[in-house]
Each structure stands twice: as C-alpha cells, then as structure tokens.
Amino acid sequence: METLTGTTVVGGIAIGRIRYFAPFAYEASDAPAADPEEEVLRFEKSRYAVQDGLHDLYEKALNEAGEEEAEIFQAHEMMLDDEDLIASCISCIKEDGHLAEYAVVQAFDEAAAMFAAMEDPYFAARSADVIDLKNRMLEHLSGREQEEWTEPAILAAEDLAPSETVRLDKSLLLGIVTKGGSSSSHTAILARSLGIPTIIQCKDLSSECDGKEAILDGDGGCLHLEPDAETAKKLRDKKEAADRDLARLQELKGLDNITTDGHTVRIYANIGSPEDLESVLANDAGGIGLFRSEFLYLNGSAEPSEEEQSAAYRKVLEAMAPKQVIIRTCDIGADKTVDYMDLTPEDNPAMGLRAIRLCLTRRDFFKRQLRALLRASAYGNLGIMFPMIISVREVRECRALLEECGQELKAEGIQTGTYETGIMIETPAAALLADELAETVDFFSIGTNDLTQYTCALDRQNAALAPFLDPHHPALLKLIDMTVQAAHRHGIWAGICGELAADLSLTETFLRMGVDELSVSPVRILPLRDKVRNLNLT
C-alpha cells in the first residue's frame, strides 16, 4: 500500500479504480508551411469549430451545473475572438511561414505567460484557461479524439481545466484527486457542487497510479493506493456507516427543527462566499446566519470594489430569498491579514486593530462595504452584523455610517431595501453589556470562537493550549445564557454562530436557554436537525 497526502476540499470516502486524466500533449512541428493561405484557412476553420463546441459546452454546463459553471465557456468563446491573439497567429503563419499548429502554440503560450505573470490571483489563474483553449485548438487541428469513460472511477489529474470538468461524465465520478489546484479552482467548485470526496495539492501524485485500486479518504486528506486488507476494511466500514447515516439524514430535508414536545429553533448556515450556496441549498438551511464577508477581501490582491461586493451579496440574497441572509461586515485583522491593507504589525493582534475597530478607523474603506450591502438589500432579506463590538458607542457609530451611506445612495438615485441590524457577541464586554446593547439592534449572534478565547484568555490559534481548553467552560455557558436572556428581555432574538452551535452535546442546553437560531456549516445542518427532533425538553 502507498499513501499520498493532500488537502481536503470535500470529505467522505470513495473506493474504486484510479483513472488518470492525462493532460493533452502535442509537439508542434516548426516545419515551414507549404501553403500559408491554406494554413490560415485551417486556423480559422478550427477557431470557428472550437467556438461552436464551446457554445455546446456552455449549454451543457448551464443545464447540469448552472450559470456560474457555464459562464466560463462564454468567456472562452470570447477569448477566441481576441484580435491580438488572432493577429499573432496569422502573422506567425503568413509572415514567418509556420503551420497553424505551431502558430497556435506560440501565440497562446505567450498569452498564457502574460496572464501567469499578473499579480492578481484571479487574472493569473486565467492562464490555465488560455492553455485549455490552446489544447482545444490543437485537438481540432490534429483531429485527436478524447477517450471516453465507461466505468465509475476516482479521477486523478495534474489539474483539470474547466472544459475538461464539464466534458466528464459526472455519474461516473467517485472522487477527485489532483496534484495541483486551489480551493477556488474550477475543480474545487465542481467537487463542492457534486459533493464528492476530493483532495487537491497531492504532491506525489503521478500517472503511475492509473488503473490502480484505491481508497480516497477525503476526511483524512489522503489517497491509499492498493490499500492493504486492514485499511480497506476499516475505511469500507466507515463508508458504509456514513452512507447509511447520510441516507437517513436526507429524509429530514423539508422537516421542521422541532423537539418532540414542540420547541422550535432556526437552523441556519455559515458561509464564506457565494460558492458555498450550493451546499447551503442542498442541506436545506433555514437561512444564512453568518456570511463571513472578509473572505471576499482575502481572496484577491486588491480590495473588492463596491460593485464586486454588492454583486456577491446580491447573488446570495437572491438565491436565498425570502430566507434571511446575515452578512457580517469585514472581520480583517488578527489571523486574517491582507497585504494590500498595509496593516501595522502588532504585538498582540487578537486584541489589536481588527474587525470593527479597523473599519471604524478606516471609514472610507468601511463605507464602501456598507454601500455595497445597502445596494444589495434591495434583492432579498438582509441582516447586517457588526463583529467584535464592545460598546454601545461603536454600534451607534456603525449605525450613523449606515445612515450616511443610505442618504448618499438615495441622493444618487440608487435603490435600497429594508434590513435588520445586529451585532456579534464575541467579547465578554458585549455579553456583560447585553442589556444596553439590545436596545440598539435587532438581533445578537454569539461568536463562541472568539468569546471562548477572550473569556478564558486562550489564544484560539495556539495548539499548545489544547490541554487548557474546555469548550464547555462554565463561564462561557454563563455568558451565553446571560446574552440570550438579555436579548429576550428587550424583545430581540439571539443566535449562536460560533463552532459550538454545531456541538450536539450542547443542543439541549442551548434550547433550554431559549436560543432562537443556531448557525452552522452547511453539512452540519441535517445532523443538528436530527438531534433537535429527538430532544424532549419537558
């Protein structure tokens, strides 16, 4: 048995044979073209044929995976109309006397290198799209057909181009493992939407694994090639148990989160980007209780514009409407740093200029996000939530800025909608001031991750502190209870969006406290619903 390790994108276990997807390799001859005019004609014919094929792929992706997956093929179709790219191919054929294949390799490689050198990771990643197009052009020019799959298999590859992922027969995909890839690559997007076990960055993966029996352990982030009997039995049993449990949990979709004695609780989802929507919908979330908006800032090399942010928020709001979507304003700082913000290094970043403190210090930056949120509010049921609050003054300042942004948009004739305003309770100061704070907002959402670290003075990033960490520390539970009771005294609702919300051993405690909403990662929704439906609080 050989075990290769990688990074998990989707958990679960896949058992089957490896099918190694070899990248298209073509050696373009630099022999002179006998008839350059004829070569230009061949180039143009292939370009149109590839564009036709891309159009078919667009339609296929639209039906199978939706607009987001499909858009890339429209973009590819347009890339093939790029005047500079066409001119360099034609000049390589006509002026330098090369064959169409050679011209395609030269011009497309040059364009790909230009993208790859760009600093912005989004544009740098487009280099893979140009290479994908080059291969499609060469496939057509050389008349090479793609080999079809006929049996279910675990797909292994260096990485997958968008057109390759769409051309695959998804019903035959047991799992995916790639040598490269990133969590925002098309492969990862596809894997999440299909919900099949997937690991990326599996550095030791090679074409030698083709055809081998394997077990892909998405939970453990590893691929076992030709597993020994003991490993195979252990993982087979684990898969069978997980499959049975999954099938049973699927039957809970559409059912209420209600105890046997009639208490209900809302179960919402935590997300980091619009890409997580698919999983949110597949797991029947009642809404989104925490959209960690800072991930939009962490993904790029420049601050997302007001338009980009507003489009991302709108997408989530429209997909979820009429269900509520609570978007937390930017929580940058501490462990979440971004180079372009030029943050001053701090001795104690967890207690430093992070989250709302940073936003209230850089007001123009903050206002761009507030304006984007207000613009998106016209398209769904929005909640705006402020992180790391410790005082009533901070909430008032946030509200005043929101008001200012609302006035500006009105003056510009831009439509906005209604929204709720809430705060995260993730500092002991906020929990202790819950009565006063409840007078200023519509809801509380308790962030137990930070509330634990600040209450117990235990750095959440420091693994060495594990022996001292009690996730159920009585002081923490007391603060949660105080917060919920204060919220109810003032007629507002209180939820929990930290990791503890998914801790099934605390569900009964939270329901007894009267917690109104539990927001958890999408895959934890159905297990939590199951737990609630088996509780009796009498």
Q: Which two tokens stand for residue 382?
A: 């929005």
Closer to ligand PEP by Cβ: residue 104 or 389? 389
186 catalytic? Reply is yes
39 contact choice in Mg ion, ligand PEP, none (CB below 5 to 8 Å, kind-dependent)? none
273 contact choice in ligand PEP, Mg ion, none (CB below 5 to 8 Å, kind-dependent)? none
448 contact choice in Mg ion, ligand PEP, none (CB below 5 to 8 Å, kind-dependent)? ligand PEP
Closer to ligand PEP by Cβ: residue 50 or 520? 520
Distance CA 157, CA 198 (A): 12
Residue with tokens 């006998």: 34
- Give residue number: closest CB to Mg ion: 450
Q: Counting contacts by CB under 6 A, is residue 449 touching ligand PEP?
A: yes
- Nearest-5° Cα angle at 273, 269 to 275: 90
Q: Which two tokens stand for residue 360?
A: 């209230």
Among 333, 498, 522, 527, interactor with ligand PEP by CB under 6 A? 498
Q: One-letter amino acid identity for 29? A: S
Shortest Å, Cβ 471 to ligand PEP: 12
Distance CA 82, CA 60 (A): 24
Dihedral angle sign, alpha carbons of residues 469, 485, 396, 392: negative
Q: One-letter amino acid identity for 442? A: D
Enumerate binding residues for Mg ion (CB under 5 A).
Answer: 426, 447, 450
Closer to ligand PEP by Cβ: residue 106 or 445? 445
Among 187, 448, 483, 521, interactor with ligand PEP by CB under 6 A? 448
For 499, residues 6+ apart whose C-beta sits below 8 A from its C-beta are 448, 449
For 184, residues 6+ apart whose C-beta sits below 8 A from its C-beta are 125, 275, 299
Binding mask 387-426 for ligand PEP (x = CB under 6 A): ---------------------------------------x
Shortest Å, Cβ 12 to ligand PEP: 24
To the nearest 5 percent, what fractions of the chain are helix, strand and coil? 55, 15, 30
Q: One-letter amino acid identity for 59? A: E
Q: Which of residues 117-156 bind ligand PEP (CB under 6 A)?
A: none
Count the neighbouring beta carbons within 10 Å of the beta carbon of residue 301.
14
Distance CA 127, CA 88 (A): 17
Shortest Å, Cβ 447 to ligand PEP: 3
Closer to ligand PEP by Cβ: residue 126 or 292? 292
Binding mask 184-223 for ligand PEP (x = CB under 6 A): ----------------------------------------
Size of the site for ligand PEP (CB under 6 A): 10
Closer to Mg ion by Cβ: residue 106 or 270? 270
Closer to ligand PEP by Cβ: residue 130 or 388? 388
Closer to Mg ion by Cβ: residue 224 or 354? 354
Span near ligand PEP by CB under 6 A; candidates 190-198, 211-219, 315-323, 447-455: 447-455
Closest to 47 (Cα-Cα) out of 107, 137, 179, 128: 137
Shortest Å, Cβ 183 to ligand PEP: 17
Shortest Å, Cβ 9 to ligand PEP: 20
Distance CA 476, CA 484 (A): 13
**Alpha helices, H only, 160-293:** 162-167, 186-194, 229-250, 277-282
Q: Which of 92, 330, 359, 497 is catalytic?
A: 497
CB 436, CB 429: distance < 8 Å: no
Q: Counting contacts by CB under 6 A, is residue 276 touching ligand PEP?
A: no
Closer to Mg ion by Cβ: residue 383 or 447? 447
Q: Which two tokens stand for residue 87?
A: 């001119």
CB 154, CB 176: distance < 8 Å: yes
Q: Counting contacts by CB under 6 A, is residue 450 touching ligand PEP?
A: yes
- Nearest-5° Cα angle at 312, 308 to 315: 135
Q: Which of 76, 98, 140, 186 is catalytic?
A: 186
Q: Which of residues 279-338 bind ligand PEP (CB under 6 A)?
A: 290, 292, 331
If residue 525 lies in a helix (H) or strand (E), which one and from where to where?
helix 525-533
Beta strands in 329-487 (DSSP E): 381-386, 419-425, 443-446
Among 497, 502, 511, 532, interactor with ligand PEP by CB under 6 A? 497
497 catalytic? Reply is yes
Q: Which residues are catalytic?
A: 186, 497
Interface positions with ligand PEP (CB under 6 A): 290, 292, 331, 426, 447-450, 497-498
